[in-house]
Amino acid sequence: MTPAPDLTADIGRIKLKNPVIAASGTFGFGREYSEYIDLNELGAIAVKGLTLDPRRGNPPPRIAETPAGILNSIGLQNPGIREFIAKEIPFLRSFDTAIIANIAGNTPEEYGLMAEMLENEAVDAIEVNVSCPNIRHGGAAFGISAESIARVTEEVRRKYGGMLIVKLTPNVTDIKAMAMAAQKAGADAVSLINTILGMAVDIETMRPILANNYGGLSGPAVKPVALRMVHETASAVDVPVIGMGGIQSGSDAVEFILAGASAIMVGTASFIYPNACVEIKRGIANYLIRHGFGSVREITGRLKLNRPDQLEE
């Protein structure tokens, strides 16, 4: 009998027990899912995006369904970083899974301040959110230029000695430049993609469905775009890449890993099937067994590109 494959995932400064991470903004603080699945099964949980002060979020409707996807504009509703530290960290620590604190600020200094507050807390990593499309200040505004990504990343790096992930927005011309800026400024890993800015229209009322007009698209609809961007990024940077975008199954996850992802995040799929992360983990393991691989590392970036020039006579 072949031994069970090694599912551990190296994402820079830390090692996860498996490569499946619940994506920020889709998993609450874990609490919401704890009655449906065993949180100990997850490689990590990236918690709902945190801001310095509590945020109400955007007015409803906040969600619209589109073909093979959903469009959301929640607007970073969260209880603020202090309440997260006081109430949610102790709860999450009762499980054997890594905690990734996703933070979003209005200014680079605010990101730094939050990083400083987390420095001595029991979180395993910070994910710097420079890619939320649904807030007026900060968020994706920082994520669309290499200079501002660098500024925010440097600020956080100065205040935080632990594992630092920068979450990138796909709403840019050249994702590689953004990832390289994050790496140069001290990021230990990059995660991508956040949602793609989109819109849905109600033709009867002649208005956008979302109260905020535009929102972020996620789900299977974005997977090909995400996969291409993960591949481009993994080819351009040395730090580990955490891939996400429409992953619904183990085979979707394997596609991202082959394209260069060291770990993957699952978001929208959890809304539909609360146990999606666990099923995806199982799917990855089955793939490894089926192909005789001993670890996730062995297939990370194993994708062989076609050479169209050589395919022609």
Of residues 200 through 239, those in contact with another protein by CB under 8 A are: 209, 219-220
What minimum distance in Å lies between the beta carbon of 171 and another protein? 21
Question: What does the per-residue mask of binding to another protein show for 129-168, with x meaning CB under 8 A?
Answer: ----------------------------------------
**Alpha-carbon gap, residue 156 to 128, rounded angstroms:** 8
Spatial distance between the Cα atoms of 83 and 50, rounded to a whole number of angstroms = 10
65 binds another protein (CB under 8 A): yes
- Shortest distance, position 2 Cβ to another protein, whole Å: 31
Pairing of strands 20-22, 44-46: parallel
Our CB check for another protein shows the closer of 67 and 292 to be 67
* Contact between 56 and another protein per CB under 8 A: yes
**Structural contact between residues 300 and 261, judged by C-beta atoms closer than 8 angstroms:** yes
Q: Which CB atom, from 46 or from 187, has the smaller least distance to another protein?
A: 46
Choose, by CB under 8 A, the member of 57, 162, 186, 301 that binds another protein.
57
- By CB under 8 A, what part of segment 16-45 binds another protein? 25-28, 32-33, 36
| Residues between 73 and 112 that touch another protein (CB under 8 A) | 74, 77, 79-80
Q: Pick from 4, 15, 53, 291 the residue near another protein by CB under 8 A.
A: 53
**Residues in CB range of 119: below 8 A, 6 or more apart:** 159, 160, 161, 162
Note if 277 is an active site residue: no
Which one is catalytic: 45, 70, 128, 132?
Answer: 132
Q: Does 68 bind another protein (CB under 8 A)?
A: yes
* Nearer to another protein (CB atom), residue 102 or residue 262: 102
Binds another protein (CB under 8 A): choice among 54, 162, 186, 301: 54
The residue range among 52-60, 106-114, 173-181, 190-198 that interacts with another protein, by the rule CB under 8 A, is: 52-60
Catalytic residues: 132
Site of interaction with another protein (CB under 8 A): 25-28, 32-33, 36, 48, 53-65, 67-70, 72, 74, 77, 79-80, 209, 219-220, 268, 270-272, 274
